[in-house]
Amino acid sequence: MVVVAILAAGRGTRMKSSLPKVLHSLGGRTMVERVLASAEPLAPSRQMVIVGYQAQEVKAAMQLPGLEFVEQTVQLGTGHAIQQLLPHLEGYSGDLLILNGDVPLLRTETLEKLLQTHQANQNAATILTANLANPKGYGRVFCHNNFVEQIVEDKDCTSLQRQNQRINAGIYCFRWQNLAEVLPHLQANNAQKEYYLTDAVTQVGQVMAVDVEDEQEILGINDRLQLATASEILQRRVKEKWMLAGVTLIDPNSITIDDTVELQPDIIIEPQTHLRGNTVIQSGSRIGPGSLIENSHLGENVTVQYSVVTDSVIEPGTKIGPYAHLRGHAQVGTNCRIGNFVELKNTQIGDRTNVAHLSYLGDTTAGNQVNIGAGTITANYDGVKKHRTIIGDRTKTGSNSVLVAPVTLGNDVYVAAGSTITEDVPDDSLVIARSRQVIKRGWRKKSEEC
Ligand code: UD1
Ligand code: CA
């Protein structure tokens, strides 16, 4: 049986941020969410997050069922943080897996290996280590064979100790009862005047170190430079996965893809394109260049050029852009064209409908085979409330028409160019709502006479 505890109470001073460190994101998810997700497949019996600095914000950002929050009101060190678990784990006889909230690239396989070694050797504790060319900032691990004798924090190392390249990754598995006995006796006589969890390691009994295979996994994030490094590593992982799964990335370095995105084979992603959140894209689609797709579902054979699509659904065969903006639950049917400088907000469009140039459709429902003329605008906001516009099948709006909502145009309606429509229009009719053209002949001559 294993309980997971995540250390997430620290402020992260070196981030120089008003946001708690563990709420900084990479690849579309916060660090602490990533850490939690890496341990989830182990089916822990409890998941506890130790919060402190801006505890309310951290809790609010992590609304997941079954998660327990334990507060560490003053941050006196990682050992002090784990001391806060004592009243919550009284009588518990299993293992405690401790994860650092600022080590977000850890793989589940690595945790499995740590647990296996721990259990197979009946260790009191097993810790994850790595040999780093540049171990600066990490605690150094001193071992005999793979049995840990001591961990010394960078700040407490002698210059000789500092040369040791084997570092503590901040990931531990403890037999809880052994740790619980030692925790109350930790001392803070060190450079940082903190209660170090790493001191417990020398006191609990037999402790083994397990080296991580890919040292990129244990990168700890303390500042924005390391955050950028970790994001890059994550991007490489995600893009390699999709390329091997049949997605073409043209100029991969200029593309970013959150690891929450789902792609099918035979998609082409062009340069300067960013895919974020819960986005799904189906086969045959071609996205970019220069596009941002967020929390959206794109069907097969959709093309998007130089456009922004958020919280929207696009059905197969539809072409978006260049320079279109879809947002607020826009829904576009099959084989449509949403063209240059068009914005759709909370708008549903049927199949084979075109909105090709310079339009804003907000809070609108349009049917099938509709043609929205260049410059058509729905006036959906009266300064207080938003109103809907309904447009029937095969209806065509002339250039520069304004549809003042709430208003309904029936099927097969023709709207004359330049009209301002304020009243409903029945099926199969032509509506003209503009002043008549007047021509005054000989105008210059007449004005010169007076
Ligand atoms: C820690 C380890 C170090 C290891 C490194 C790996 C200790 C004493 N040192 O150092 O050996 O090489 O991680 O990344 O453990 N936290 C709390 N409460 C506190 C203090 C910290 O919850 O009172 C949390 C932080 O939010 C963070 C984690 O614990 O998520 C680690 O704290 P941090 O200050 O970053 O420790 P390091 O100096 O990196
Ligand atoms: Ca750290």
CB 99 less than 6 A from any atom of ligand 1 = no
> Is residue 250 pLDDT above 90, yes or no?
yes
> Could you report the per-residue pLDDT of 332-354, keeping only the tens digit for each?
999 999 999 999 999 999 999 99
> Quick one: what percent of the chain has pLDDT higher than 90?
96
Q: What is the pLDDT of residue 450?
A: 67
Q: How far is the CA of 103 from the centre of ligand 1 (A)?
A: 10
CB 102 less than 6 A from any atom of ligand 1 = yes
**Burial environment of residue 202 by CB neighbours within 10 A (0 to 12, 13 to 18, 19 or more):** middle
For the segment 255-271, the average pLDDT, to the nearest whole number, is: 98
Q: What is the pLDDT of residue 306?
A: 98
For the segment 159-175, the average pLDDT, to the nearest whole number, is: 97
Q: What is the pLDDT of residue 350?
A: 98
Give the β-pairing of 140-144 and 147-152: antiparallel
**Atom 36 (ligand 1) nearest CA:** 78
Spell out which residues have Cβ within 5 A of ligand 2, the ion: 102, 220, 222
> Is residue 445 pLDDT above 90, yes or no?
no
Q: What is the pLDDT of residue 260?
A: 95
Which residues does residue 320 pair with via DSSP β-bridges, in sequence order? Answer: 304, 338
Q: How far is the CA of 331 from the centre of ligand 2 (A)?
A: 44
> Could you report the per-residue pLDDT of 61-79, keeping only the tens digit for each?
998 888 999 999 999 999 9
Tokens of 129: 């280590």
Q: What is the pLDDT of residue 446?
A: 76
Domain 238-431: give its CATH code. 2.160.10.10
Give residue limits of the domains in the chain: 2-224, 238-431
CB 79 less than 6 A from any atom of ligand 1 = no
Q: What is the pLDDT of residue 251?
A: 98
Mean pLDDT of the chain: 96
Ligand nearest to the CA of 130: 1
> Is residue 406 pLDDT above 90, yes or no?
yes
Report pTM: 0.89
- The position carrying tokens 């959709």 is 302
What is the DSSP secondary structure assignment for residue 23, as one 8-state letter?
A: G
8 A C-beta contact, residue 399 and residue 375: yes
Pocket test for ligand 1, best of 4, 6, 7 (most atoms within 8 A of CB): 7
> Residue 229: which of 54, 146, 105, 134 has the closest Cα?
105
Q: What is the pLDDT of residue 64?
A: 86
> Is residue 101 pLDDT above 80, yes or no?
yes
Tokens of 27: 């690849």
For the segment 189-201, the average pLDDT, to the nearest whole number, is: 95
**Atom 1 (ligand 1) nearest CA:** 170
Q: Exposed e or buried b for every residue in 426-445, given b needs 16+ CB within 10 A? A: eeeeebebeeeeeeeeeeee
> Could you report the per-residue pLDDT of 305-335, keeping only the tens digit for each?
999 999 999 999 999 999 999 999 999 999 9
Spot the catalytic one: 80, 118, 185, 357: 357
Q: What is the pLDDT of residue 253?
A: 97
Tokens of 321: 């852009």
Is position 357 annotated as part of the catalytic site? yes
CB 129 less than 6 A from any atom of ligand 1 = no
Give the β-pairing of 389-391 and 364-366: parallel
Ligand nearest to the CA of 72: 1
For the segment 297-310, the average pLDDT, to the nearest whole number, is: 98
**Atom 31 (ligand 1) nearest CA:** 100
8 A C-beta contact, residue 370 and residue 396: yes
Which atom of ligand 1 is least distant from the CA of 75? 23
CB 54 less than 6 A from any atom of ligand 1 = no
> Residue 20: which of 50, 53, 42 has the closest Cα?
53
End-to-end CA distance of the chain: 102
Helix H or strand E segment including 228: helix 224-244
For the segment 96-108, the average pLDDT, to the nearest whole number, is: 96
Cα(374)–Cα(357) distance, integer angstroms: 5
Q: What is the pLDDT of residue 444?
A: 87
> Is residue 448 pLDDT above 90, yes or no?
no
What is the DSSP secondary structure assignment for residue 383, as one 8-state letter?
A: S
Which atom of ligand 1 is least distant from the CA of 168? 12
| Architecture in CATH of 2-224 | Alpha-Beta Complex (3.90)
> Is residue 84 pLDDT above 90, yes or no?
yes
For the segment 190-216, the average pLDDT, to the nearest whole number, is: 95
> Could you report the per-residue pLDDT of 114-131, keeping only the tens digit for each?
999 999 999 999 999 999
CB 220 less than 6 A from any atom of ligand 1 = yes
